[in-house]
Structure 1
Amino acid sequence: MAQVYRGYDLTLGRDVAIKILDRELARDTAFRTRFRMEAQAASRMSHPTIVRVFDAGEDSSTEAGGTAAEPVPFIVMELVQGRLLKEIIATGPLPASVAVKYADGILEALEYSHRAGVVHRDIKPGNVMITSSGSVKVMDFGIARAISDSSSTVAETTQIIGTAAYFSPEQAKGEQVDARTDLYSAGVVLYEMLTGRQPFRGESPVAVAYQHVSEAPTPPSEVRDDVHDTPEAERIRGLDPVVLRAMAKDPYQRFGDAATFRAALRESGTGAVPTKKQLGALTSELYGPNPRHAQETARTLRQLSSDTTMSRTQSGPPVAWIWAGVALLAVLLASVLIWVLAMRSNPDLPTSARTVPGLAGMTFERAQDQLSKQGLRAVRIDQADASVPVDKVISTDPAAGTQIEKGQSITVYVSTGAKLVKVPSLVGMSESAAKDALTKNGLQLGSVLQKNDIQTQKDIVLAMGVPADTEVQPGTAIDLTVASGVVTLNDLTGWTLDTATQALKALGLTANPVANPSCKATDPKTVASMSVAPGDVPVQSTVDLSYCTGK
């Protein structure tokens, strides 16, 4: 898709990475337009887990013969020292603790980008770097969308992007995608880190895409035959439900957002390992058979692609099985109806059932005490919320009033107050540009103090009341000191010419001696008059000093 060069920014004095995209892509005007828009969106994101985009544009060149070549899009990014996650996985499965750490870093980047309204659409180990310190860096935000939005078929898109091994089902079917697509791909990456291989493999990208839509993945713990009956096996089994939930075919059955996915990862490390029965129930819930759905998928993929290597991996069910399924469904419905009627006749809850109490507005300690009395466990998650006071409960999951079994964990979301914002660096900006920068960052312009500065033009910011990069509450007023654009000039009449020239130089002004033969010369030469009246004069002005030279 591109070639990457190491470069040096002469203006800012820093090493950068320069990605120059393939000329075939550059011939597509729609792609160039989309790429420019997406690069601009990516450049607005600044987060430790995301490779920064510094600049993007198009480079024009001339071919042999003097004809103008197609402009080639380029993107200038932060230079990261480290290894691709793809290279690390190639050496074998990662320990569960390391895989969770890397997955958490990827999800932290997605949590930030999704809040900024940017969906990556191509999360895979080849787009994730691990630095020498073990930190995660996700790259190529926006490029996948620029490519896929200017490609008409799955075949074209997979040829450009590369492997379809990390496709979500909705991407495979050419449907609209959102943030949950990135969560599916992150689940596939976590699967590969735990097992050392991708969940689905096939002879062609379309065959793999078909499996993403219609087939259930094998739980990671069942793939790792090498760690049976070890603590590592227990840790991987604890991650099975998280991986299966992230890779649900239906976007609505996946985690609602990256933050929820991260919370589930942390929860998996508490030692709660599902039984085979529980795991089987989850697999059935998320990947239950749906022959009609699979047939529609196959038909859609054939229409989207000219690939002829795709073949079904499962046969359609016999007619007898369909009728047996209908009969089973009727029995289940009748059983549910009888159960509901029985519940109505006996409104008392089972002794093991508990109702989640309303905890909103409480401190976490009090909420924890309330849950403990109900035989429930509290798991604290801190979350920014401007409408709820600091250290007060925002909400719970499950919500208040929900009936659950005794001993279950309740996620308690606790407010950290409004999310702090960083004060941008404003020194050197004009007053109007500084005000716009403050507004953009959710801050306000405070008092503005005028100050004379011999080297600075009017309205340029000289100093800030709060240092740059300080984290403050949204809406904080930032005081500024700006240049007045003038200096105060004294009356130099009667001063010697040399002394007056030095005084002007000290004020950043330029002296221009002018001889006047109409008046009698003095020794030493003295200033007879000035071209500028004493008082405030613009910085870096020139002042004529008239002195007498007559007999």
Structure 2
Amino acid sequence: MATITRVMAGRYRVDDLIGRGGMAHVHRGYDLTLGREVAIKILDRDLARDAAFRTRFRMEAQAASRMSHPSIVRVFDAGEDSTAEAGGTPAEPVPFIVMELVPGDLLKDIIARGPVPTVDAVRYADGILEALEYSHRAGVVHRDIKPGNVKVTPDGTVKVMDFGIARAVSDSSSTVAETTQIIGTAAYFSPEQAKGEQVDARTDLYSAGVVLYEMLTGRQPFRGDSPVAVAYQHVSETPLPPSEVHDEEHPAAELARIRALDPVVLRAMAKDPFQRFPDAVSFRTALDDAVTGAVPTKKQLSSLTSELYGPSPRHAQETARTLRQLSTDTTMTRTQSGPPVAWIWAGVALLVVLMASVLIWVLAIKPTVDVPTATRSVPSLSGQTYETAVALLAKNDLRAIRIDQADATVDKGKVVSTEPEAGAHMDKGQSVTVYVSSGAAEVAVPQVVGLSATAAKDALTKAGLQLGSVTQKNDPRTQHDVVLTSSVQADTKVPPGTVIDLVVASGVVTLNDLTGWTLDSATQTLQQQGLTANPVENPQCKATDPKTVASMSAPPGDVPVLSTIDLTYCTGK
């Protein structure tokens, strides 16, 4: 594959293409400023033409860049580049993000080789949930969990990528069909995403359940001829338990382990978000319990399926298939003639007259009669405590879902925003996502003692901190430019952008004038300074008792650390 030799934003060299998705292509790259390999995701130009999307994309990428976790692919930078493509395409802003370059295989490639062993599937799912547990605490909902967004490193570590991109896309798309086309697949959609409703952290848990299902069975739970057909199944149909999919292909011991996971997968994929696991921690706990617990009976599994998907799942499946067939079958023809055209027009005219009469009646009685409404308005909650927000929502017959997020501008424990925003109308009993400030985001100070000043600066910059003053200090046993101390201890949590001062070794020590000193005293003084004394006899001058330094091989002043100093003393008669 040919290498693309261009530099974006004057800093990032774009190298080989290493991946391509429905809305972007990923290249291996090189950060010319920091001298490190990176991955560069470049958005398609069709998306880039939407100014609202570019703004939303930049904001979401900045939010993702604040997350630092071993199970999340780091986002280092985001921006726009106007470099013209090869072939003379006119220059226009194209969004890109710079990410950590992670070795290994995409989870979708691992699944493509066949069903994943249960032990590995649970480990991969746990890694995904660990990343979601962290991101949900930070107030970031992924919205596009799928095997193509999960990397498994050679040592088995799970890395989740593309946080924030799905939200940027969905907020710039007006329909499910548009969003599906951009993201590339509806196979991992939650029912609320398919219906265009508000989403929260439980949406990611549903998608994680679908990924676990696919790892255990080697196929997705719902398949169809189009993304819309698949999304419809997510809303309407009951999935088969994983153990009932090609169970004859699994060894007995493996099948038993899959059966133990059936309740966990079905709970994660519940249509109603309130019947799913409430958070990633609960999902991970259920996985651990399933691995070590008893296998459920078919009666228990049937009871759980009935609870989550309705008392007659088979009937619901048949109804869904019939509706889908009627909506797509173009070969069906009428067996009876329709009513006369005149009757149709007469019916339409009568309907118009009735609607007009009702409208006139409503307008006439409006001053004296209030028309009841079933909708509730979301109150303004910004700046309130979470407890107050819950009470205000309850007065409006609405429920609250809390998500903590870092915010330096809002006091800890106070509401930052809601989704939907204040003033929006919702049905009775619906949930409002309440984002609560966890205070300013904090990062851990890296270990810089023992590094060179340049390496320490790189480590601080990578952690989102700033290098302050650099003071030199004599240290008898440390080479030049090595960090001796920092103004803040390693692993201390501080706000991003905190200035860290360093003290580095000067690489020299100050040599005093030792002439006239006894040889023993001079030798001891040099040893205390990390220097080596080399006694040298001079028979040309009269010996002294005790032996006295007559001259030194280096003049008084600064000398390199760990130097050897010749001390000449007289031995003549």
Cα distance in 2, alignment partners of residues 452 and 426 from structure 1: 15
SS in 1 for 2:292: coil
Corresponding letter in the other structure for 2:106: L
Cα shift readout 1:90-113 (whole Å, capped 9, x = no counterpart): 111011111000000110111111
SS in 2 for 1:146: helix
Cα distance in 1, alignment partners of residues 158 and 146 from structure 2: 13
Q: Which residue of 1 aligns with 2:101?
A: 79
**Alignment of 1:15 onto 2:34:** no
Q: Which residue of 2 aligns with 1:276?
A: 298
TM-score by length of 1: 0.56
CA RMSD of aligned residues (A): 4.0
TM-score by length of 2: 0.54
Cα distance in 2, alignment partners of residues 200 and 482 from structure 1: 61
Corresponding letter in the other structure for 1:187: G
* Count of aligned pairs: 347
SS in 2 for 1:200: coil
Corresponding letter in the other structure for 1:170: E
- Percent identity (aligned): 76
Cα distance in 2, alignment partners of residues 64 and 244 from structure 1: 49
CA contact (8 A) 2:445 2:494 kept: no
C-alpha displacement of 1:41 = 0.6
Corresponding letter in the other structure for 1:196: G
Corresponding letter in the other structure for 1:90: A
Gaps of 5+ in 2: 1-22, 331-441, 455-459, 475-482, 505-573
**Alignment of 1:58 onto 2:108:** no
Q: 1:90 to 1:450 in 2, by over 3 A?
A: closer
Q: Which residue of 1 aligns with 2:56?
A: 34
Cα distance in 1, alignment partners of residues 176 and 94 from structure 2: 24
Q: Which residue of 2 aligns with 1:125?
A: 147
CA contact (8 A) 1:203 1:309 kept: no
Cα distance in 1, alignment partners of residues 166 and 448 from structure 2: 34
**Alignment of 1:172 onto 2:194:** yes
Q: Which moved more, 1:282-291 or 1:111-120?
A: 282-291
Cα distance in 1, alignment partners of residues 469 and 97 from structure 2: 40
CA contact (8 A) 1:207 1:309 kept: no
Q: 1:132 to 1:24 in 2, by over 3 A?
A: same
Cα distance in 2, alignment partners of residues 478 and 12 from structure 1: 19
Q: Which residue of 2 aligns with 1:417?
A: none
Q: Which residue of 2 aligns with 1:237?
A: 259
SS in 2 for 1:269: helix
Cα shift readout 1:2-53 (whole Å, capped 9, x = no counterpart): 1211111121111111111100000111110110000001111111111111
Cα distance in 2, alignment partners of residues 124 and 67 from structure 1: 33
- Out of 267, 274, 288, the position equivalent to 2:310 is 288
**Alignment of 1:100 onto 2:93:** no
SS in 2 for 1:201: coil
SS in 2 for 1:216: coil
- Out of 275, 280, 286, the position equivalent to 1:264 is 286
Cα distance in 2, alignment partners of residues 100 and 128 from structure 1: 14
- Out of 209, 215, 223, the position equivalent to 1:187 is 209
C-alpha displacement of 1:271 = 3.2
Cα distance in 2, alignment partners of residues 471 and 105 from structure 1: 26
Q: Which residue of 2 aligns with 1:204?
A: 226
**Alignment of 1:255 onto 2:277:** yes
C-alpha displacement of 1:422 = 2.6
Gaps of 5+ in 1: 312-419, 430-434, 442-447, 455-460, 484-551
Q: 1:67 to 1:102 in 2, by over 3 A?
A: closer
Q: Which residue of 1 aligns with 2:393?
A: none
C-alpha displacement of 1:282 = 0.3
CA contact (8 A) 2:41 2:96 kept: yes
Q: 1:31 to 1:310 in 2, by over 3 A?
A: farther
1:427-506 matches, within 5 Å, as 463-464=485-486, 467-468=489-490, 470=491
Cα distance in 1, alignment partners of residues 71 and 329 from structure 2: 38
Cα distance in 1, alignment partners of residues 140 and 46 from structure 2: 25
Q: 1:309 to 1:129 in 2, by over 3 A?
A: farther
C-alpha displacement of 1:449 = 11
C-alpha displacement of 1:182 = 0.4
Corresponding letter in the other structure for 1:28: D
Cα distance in 1, alignment partners of residues 29 and 500 from structure 2: 38
- Out of 160, 167, 178, the position equivalent to 1:156 is 178
Cα distance in 2, alignment partners of residues 11 and 450 from structure 1: 21
SS in 1 for 2:222: coil
CA contact (8 A) 2:133 2:279 kept: yes
Cα distance in 2, alignment partners of residues 178 and 309 from structure 1: 32
1:415-430 matches, within 5 Å, as 422-424=444-446
Q: 1:64 to 1:231 in 2, by over 3 A?
A: closer
CA contact (8 A) 1:238 1:269 kept: yes
Cα distance in 1, alignment partners of residues 46 and 469 from structure 2: 55
C-alpha displacement of 1:149 = 0.8
C-alpha displacement of 1:208 = 0.7
Cα distance in 2, alignment partners of residues 29 and 478 from structure 1: 35
Cα distance in 2, alignment partners of residues 13 and 64 from structure 1: 26
Q: Which residue of 2 aligns with 1:362?
A: none
Q: Which residue of 2 aligns with 1:25?
A: 47
Cα distance in 2, alignment partners of residues 149 and 449 from structure 1: 44
C-alpha displacement of 1:120 = 0.7
**Alignment of 1:90 onto 2:105:** no
Cα distance in 1, alignment partners of residues 194 and 148 from structure 2: 19
SS in 1 for 2:234: helix
CA contact (8 A) 2:306 2:312 kept: no
- Out of 133, 142, 164, the position equivalent to 1:111 is 133
Cα distance in 2, alignment partners of residues 152 and 140 from structure 1: 21
C-alpha displacement of 1:69 = 3.2
C-alpha displacement of 1:472 = 7.0
Q: 1:157 to 1:289 in 2, by over 3 A?
A: farther
Q: 1:219 to 1:67 in 2, by over 3 A?
A: closer
Q: Which residue of 2 aligns with 1:530?
A: none
Q: 1:270 to 1:152 in 2, by over 3 A?
A: same
Cα distance in 2, alignment partners of residues 309 and 155 from structure 1: 16
C-alpha displacement of 1:229 = 6.8
Q: Which residue of 1 aligns with 2:24?
A: 2
